[in-house]
Amino acid sequence: MDGNVLLALGLTLFAGLATGIGSALAFFTSRTNTKFLAWSLGFSAGVMIYVSMIEIFVKAKDSLVSEQGETTGYWMTVIGFFAGMAVIALIDKFIPTAGNPHEIKTVEEFHKEPTQEDLERLKKMGIFTALAIAIHNFPEGIATFASAIQDPSLGIAIAIAVAIHNIPEGIAVAVPLYFATGNRKKAFKWSFLSGLSEPVGAIVAWLILMPYLTDTMFGIIFAAVAGIMVFISLDELLPAAQKYDQTHLAIYGVVSGMIVMALSLLLLM
């Protein structure tokens, strides 16, 4: 197996299994550290926005312009960017809030007594929730894999960004599943396993998409990935960070994420 392929698959596995960290935090802490949550969500958004706009979008444009010419290539980059936003927006639109793993939950929700109606509703949502997680994480796995194949340093950056945003997602998955089953181990298992849809996406990309990953296809994928990551940052991470914000911690997290991402990209050059 090619070294780049092995690295790409490993990075998607690392990013996907970060949901297990989130579920572990939910079970082994008694309170949500809202200061840390606000900062870390902002940090994740800063990482995603910086790497998307400064690195991924530019790489997409350069690739498409070199293959398709300046005007056509630039148009394809812009269309791909907003198409990525449209895809993730549609996914979120058709997944109700109750089953959407991008809806941030807090540890304190474990201490609420669910009513019988809550239990019935959450049991019915169990299978749908698992499907929702897979739908959200599958394209992230393809994106991380494709990025790492084309540029390993960029793949590492994207994997870190995805892993950070998967930690609160793991909390969001574990909380409703625990309510539905009353079983911490089962909730942790499903939260942990939900992240496996990302390496599955990478495996699908490796086995099926690899022959079609031309420079033009890479450019389109990169443009769409940039759009997806910016949308997630603006629609999910920043509003959630603001919800738990105290004394501008969220924006400090954003700036910190951008600085760390900028330095890591410089060091990996």
**Could you tell me which residues are annotated as the binding site?**
137, 140, 165-166, 169, 198
Mean pLDDT, to the nearest integer, of 92-110?
Answer: 55
More confident residue, 73 or 242: 73
CA angle 156, 235, 181 (to 5 degrees): 85
Tokens of 159: 């994997």
| The pLDDT value given to residue 129 | 53
Does the pTM exceed 0.75? Answer: no
Mean pLDDT score of the chain, rounded to an integer?
Answer: 77
Q: Domain residue spans in the chain?
A: 3-267
Give the count of beta carbons closer than 10 Å to the beta carbon of residue 214.
Answer: 11
The rounded percent of the chain whose pLDDT value lies above 90 is: 12
Q: What number of H helices and E strands is found in the chain?
A: 12, 0
49-87 tens-digit pLDDT: 888 898 889 989 998 999 999 999 999 999 999 999 998
**Could you tell me which residues are annotated as the binding site for Fe(2+)?**
137, 140, 166, 169, 198
**Could you tell me which residues are annotated as the binding site for Zn(2+)?**
140, 165, 169
Closest CA to 205 of 7, 9, 4: 9
The helix (run of H) or strand (run of E) holding residue 9 is: helix 3-16
| 224 contacts: CB under 8 Å, gap ≥ 6 | 80, 81, 83, 84, 87, 143
More confident residue, 40 or 230: 230
